[in-house]
Amino acid sequence: MRIVEAPTHLHFGSLRIEPAVVLAPMAGVTDTVFRRFIRRFSGCGVIMTEFTSSHGVVANHAGPHAKPRRTPFNYLYYEPDEHPIIAQLFGADPQVLADAARIVEDLGFDGVDMNFGCPVKKVVKCNGGSGLLRDLPLVERILKAVRAAVSIPFTCKFRTGWDAKSIVVTQMGRIAEDCGLQGVSLHGRTRQQGYGGRSDWDRIAELKQAVSIPVLGNGDVFSPEDCIRMFCHTGCDGVMIGRAASTNPWIFRQIQQYIATGEYERPTERQRYELLRDYYRTLLADAHKISGSPLGKMKQFATYFTRGMRDGSQLRKRIHRSTSTAQVLDRVEECLAERMARAA
């Protein structure tokens, strides 16, 4: 018996998403290694790639004889066990985005998502991400071009507007629906807010009332309780989780436990150490499948995975002072041994 009421699934066209909880696309985070850890812990209905430059995809695509599941920069590399998986693109040129979407479809992705939400200055400067919220006619041209180019489910993610004086929630939702998209995701902040302030869940509820296609809510969901509150407050069809997943990959499983029983398991200290160690080992084994320096990734994820860990700050310091990947692994093993010895 379900203890907490929440949607069990949703559909983006032919794509069934079950459970109705989604991993958000996060630059520098949601590469194939991290996504497979999310899959390992279960409870996530669909995962998304890092957002990827449409110009980069088109300019570097190896053509029709390219190996399956590989694209430029490895941003769109994925393994078969990651399905269902959606690729997210960004850009501002309708034709280039349409061409990139065709490549995504050829690579076997289950869907393609368009990014109208990224607030990063260098992306916005090129009129990408949330910069496009200032040009809704261009948004419409982009959506029509991409929709005509692919047959796989097509969705988009956006923010509430450029700033508090230019909210475009309803307009964006209706444009997406009119252009034939199968779903939309809304981060309840403006571009001006970045990741500060609070996510306005009322805007997500407003979007849900304005369109008939599925709506995913995003922003300030850091616990299973937050997820259920968002469902109840907004009436959304699904919840998208970003930053919370980077520090607590168990959150998707916890949400399903909470829905089923009203309670959920929290990871032990040992499980947290083992997560960090296993992530590092997998990262080194699959370094050729991702972008960026393995050592840099290790230090980045030390910041994420040690959050809330007892003596986590000390472990972070040891890792950040390390000068090689082998040294990082040694530091984690040492700290785990020290922790287990004290607990004995």
Instruction: Identify whether 236 is a catalytic site residue.
Output: no
**Strand pairing of 10-12 and 15-17?**
antiparallel
What is the number of H-type helices and E-type strands within the chain?
A: 14, 10
Residue with tokens 């496009």: 132
Catalytic-role residue among 44, 118, 236, 335: 118
CA distance 167 to 160: 6
CA distance 107 to 64: 10
Angle formed at CA 60 by CA 152 and CA 77, multiple of 5 degrees: 55
Token pair of 6 as six digits: 């929440």
Give which of 25, 15, 36 is closest to 90, Cα–Cα.
25
The type of residue at 218 is N
Q: Is 125 exposed, middle or buried (0-12, 13-18, 19+ CB in 10 A)?
A: exposed
The DSSP-derived string for 228-258 is HHHHHHH--SEEEE-HHHHH-TTHHHHHHHH
Q: Which residues are catalytic?
A: 118
